[in-house]
Amino acid sequence: MSGPLSVFRDNVLSGHVALVTGGGTGICRGIAAAYARLGADVCIVSRKQDVLDAAARELSEQSGRTVIGVAADVRNPDAIAAAIRTTIDRFGKLDTVVNGAAGNFLAPAAALSPNGFKTVIDIDLLGTFNTSRAAFEALSASGDALILNISATLHYHGTPLQVHASAAKAGVDAVTKNLAVEWGRFRIRVCGIAPGPIAETEGMKRLAPGEVTEKMAAAIPAARFGTIEEIAAAAVYLRSPAAGYVTGHVLVVDGGHCVATPPLGMAFPT
Ligand code: COA
């Protein structure tokens, strides 16, 4: 194994069972892949069964672990509860939930319909709550559980064309803190990852196409986009015993993007 995940022991997640919403594609597929590669059995959840079937087959082949795909919309509490039951029926327990299912698009606030705003809140924020709540009983029985919420850095400042997603992700970070406080006594840690601009993701393709991408990369202190594997490595760290006393924390993985405030009109020194 090479790359960021190579620092982890091969079987560090052996015996773990994880459910990853949004795990059919992008960052969350990368997290599911990393968990399986390091020994976990995984259920990936999203709306499209054909996408899940293909991803589950590939991840199983790559890892030698069992990866299953169960279609459910996180906006539907009954559907997500059924996906959790299927996971437990198949694997006997549940230790980790990654809340990664998200929807987004660029839209000026003045032209965004109330239903457009609500749709993204429903998927990102309500979906995170629905899944966490439905998993609570199973996670309480784990003895070493983690809820990992994938948010963003959009809401650390105002972000143009993203009022809906910024509000949703701010809410997700609030859920992370509040559940950490309420559920710590049940041995459930609740953490977040806030990815910056990550290459090869649906979000970057849709939200920052073409020349915008190059300008964004130049504005990142690390002078490049992150990789899906770098987010997956953070997700493995937070899942691992190395993070056993970390809860209520959102780990920013963004190459320094959100702390950079270059004076207007000035480039970073080369
Ligand atoms: N700009 C403005 N409004 C939009 C929009 C866009 N690009 N896309 C959707 N909306 C609005 C719709 O107009 C609708 O509001 P209305 O009823 O007032 O017209 C509302 O959002 C719901 O849209 P709909 O397509 O019915 O919702 P959906 O549940 O089928 O899908 C998304 C919603 C966000 C998942 C969809 O936009 C999508 O498929 N996005 C691409 C996948 C994605 O987001 N990946 C993650 C990238 S980070």
- The protein residue with its alpha carbon nearest to ligand 1, atom 29, reads 119
Q: Is the CB of 115 under 6 A from ligand 1?
A: yes
Q: Is the CB of 122 under 6 A from ligand 1?
A: no
Tokens 């964004």 sit on residue: 216
Half-sphere exposure (Cβ direction) of 250: Cα atoms closer than 13 Å: 23
Distance CA 125, CA 198 (A): 21
The sign of the CA dihedral 86, 104, 190, 16 is positive
Per the CB < 8 A criterion, the answer to whether 229 and 37 are in contact is: no
Q: Mean pLDDT of all residues in the chain?
A: 95
| 215-249 per-residue burial string, b: 16 or more CB within 10 A, e: under 16 | ebbeebeeeebbbbbbbbbbbbbbbbeebeeebeb
Q: Is the CB of 128 under 6 A from ligand 1?
A: no
pTM of the model: 0.96
Vertex 35: Cα angle to 34 and 40 (nearest 5)? 145
99 CA distance to ligand 1 middle (Å): 19
Q: Is the CB of 22 under 6 A from ligand 1?
A: no
Give all domains of the chain, ordered by start, each with its CATH number. 4-251 (3.40.50.720)
Instruction: Report the chain's terminal Cα–Cα distance, integer Å.
Output: 33
* pLDDT tens-place string over residues 176-201: 999 999 999 999 999 999 999 999 99
Q: Mutation test of ligand 1: which of 27, 28, 74, 119 has the most ligand atoms closer than 8 Å to its C-beta? A: 119
* pLDDT tens-place string over residues 23-48: 999 999 999 999 999 999 999 999 99
Query: At 212, which helix (H) or strand (E)?
Result: helix 211-218
